[in-house]
């Protein structure tokens, strides 16, 4: 029993009390407990906020995601703009959509990129300091006193500001989802062909739900086919495929622009190494490619479809390295 508790604590980062409770609920099945821990404890606090400067026409959105158990900041995001439409974003929407709206606002005319980056740094410094201790409490109440310290910090760059904020508490499993289950239905039409008709093209089939790790963003993609290419069923990790971002979320639009491309039909495919392969149902394979640190793409394609691939050289056996041949 003690060994299982220690292993569960090491594997998931939970404390002893949480590990013991998870094992008890899972009939001391360690594998089930590892999968259950991220869903058992609501330790992630999402602060959605907006701000408005009183000194000049500046409007902004900000987001801070805190790990209450580890008392650490997971990420801080902000956008500051001259466009008052930014401030019209509602705080009662799901945090996932709120973050997507924040990223989308960065692409609007009137957005001040330098000021937005400075605001992010100020948020990160605040929530990583002892002054933010009240936000890591078990029962977070966004009182005026707690927000006043944040207002004073931002005032040094934006002048006197009005701040509104709303908390949302989720578990680690919800935080790590690429697309929350509650939003799957709302976004289903966007993944199909124009007009809401499901696409029959193997390049745009919707893949099974991926399992991203902490801090990993997974986008929906399509792969470039080639009549003389390699069947998807013969792909290996390390092979380079050519991917196009098809994800309709605002964050995908923002990232595509950073990569010098765009989202959807007509976009130039980008070379990306295959990171992992998983056999899916109905003769398909789930392909995950890596664009950069923390950013991947997923797509499920038929095993027999031929793809444009730059094949990774097969590793040389150790005995061949020694004896040649």
What pTM did the predictor assign?
0.50
Query: Domain check: are 96 and 28 in the same one?
Result: no
For 213, phi and psi rounded to 5 degrees? -90, 180
Assigned domain for 296 exists: yes
Quick check: is 321 in a domain? Answer: no
Q: Which domain holds residue 110?
A: 44-175
Same domain as 52, residue 31: no
Report if residue 322 sits inside a domain: no
Per the structure, the count of domains in the chain is 3
CA 124 to chain centre: 18
Cα dist. 186→174, 175, 189, 190, 261 in Å? 17, 18, 7, 8, 26
Q: Residues 215, 294: one domain?
A: yes
Q: How far apart are CA 229 and CA 155, in angstroms?
A: 57
Residue 148 CB-density burial (10 A; 0-12 exposed, 13-18 middle, 19+ buried): exposed
Q: Are residues 50 and 161 in the same domain?
A: yes
Integer Rg of the chain from CA = 23
Sign of CA dihedral 188, 191, 192, 198: negative
Let me know: does 248 contact 322? Beta carbons within 8 Å: no
Separation of alpha carbons 70 and 13, rounded Å: 9
Q: What is the DSSP string of 129-140?
A: SGGGGGGGSSS-
Q: Are residues 63 and 113 in the same domain?
A: yes
Q: Are residues 91 and 134 in the same domain?
A: yes
Q: Where are the beta strands (DSSP E) in the chain?
A: 44-53, 59-67, 72-81, 161-170, 217-223, 225-231, 240-245, 270-279, 284-292, 295-302, 306-307, 309-310
Residue 133 placed within a domain: yes
Same domain as 87, residue 163 = yes
- Across 40-62, b (16+ Cβ under 10 Å) vs e yields bbebbbbbbbbbbbeeeebbbbb
Shared-domain flag, residues 164 and 205: no
- pLDDT by 10s per residue, the chain, length 325: 567 778 767 766 666 776 777 677 777 777 777 766 656 666 788 899 999 998 888 899 999 998 887 788 988 999 999 888 888 888 988 888 888 888 888 888 888 888 999 999 999 998 888 888 888 876 556 656 778 888 888 888 888 899 888 888 877 666 665 555 555 444 333 333 333 333 333 444 444 444 444 446 788 899 999 999 999 989 988 899 999 998 888 777 777 777 777 787 778 888 999 988 888 777 889 999 988 766 888 999 999 999 999 886 555 544 454 445 4
Residue 51 and residue 34 share a domain: no
């Amino acid at each position: 029993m003690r060994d299982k508790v220690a292993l569960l604590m090491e594997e998931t980062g939970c404390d002893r009390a949480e590990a013991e409770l998870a094992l008890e609920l899972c009939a001391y099945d360690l594998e089930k407990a590892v999968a259950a821990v991220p869903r058992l404890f609501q330790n992630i606090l999402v602060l959605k906020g907006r701000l408005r400067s009183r000194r000049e026409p500046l409007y902004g959105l900000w987001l801070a995601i805190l790990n209450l158990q580890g008392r650490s900041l997971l990420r801080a995001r902000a956008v500051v703009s001259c466009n008052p439409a930014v401030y019209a974003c509602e705080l009662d929407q799901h945090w996932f959509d709120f973050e997507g709206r924040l990223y989308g606002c960065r692409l609007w005319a009137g957005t001040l990129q330098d000021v937005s980056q400075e605001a992010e740094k100020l948020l990160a410094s605040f929530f990583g300091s002892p002054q933010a201790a009240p936000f890591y409490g078990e029962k977070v109440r966004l009182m005026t006193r707690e927000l006043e310290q944040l207002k004073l910090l931002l005032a040094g760059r934006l002048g006197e500001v009005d701040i509104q904020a709303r908390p949302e508490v989720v578990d680690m499993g919800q935080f790590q989802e690429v697309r929350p289950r509650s939003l799957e239905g709302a976004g289903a039409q966007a993944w199909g062909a124009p007009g809401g008709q499901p696409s029959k093209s193997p390049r745009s089939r919707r893949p099974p739900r991926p399992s991203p790790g902490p801090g990993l963003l997974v986008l929906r993609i399509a792969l470039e086919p080639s009549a003389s290419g390699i069947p998807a069923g013969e792909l290996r990790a390390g092979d380079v495929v050519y991917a196009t971002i098809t994800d309709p979320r605002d964050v995908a639009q923002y990232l595509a622009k950073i990569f010098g491309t765009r989202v959807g039909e007509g976009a130039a495919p980008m070379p990306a190494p295959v990171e992992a392969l998983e056999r899916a149902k109905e003769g398909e394979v789930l392909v995950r490619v890596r664009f950069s640190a923390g950013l991947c793409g997923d797509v499920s394609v038929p095993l027999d479809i031929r793809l444009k691939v730059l094949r990774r050289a097969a590793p040389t056996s150790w005995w061949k390295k020694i004896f040649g041949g």
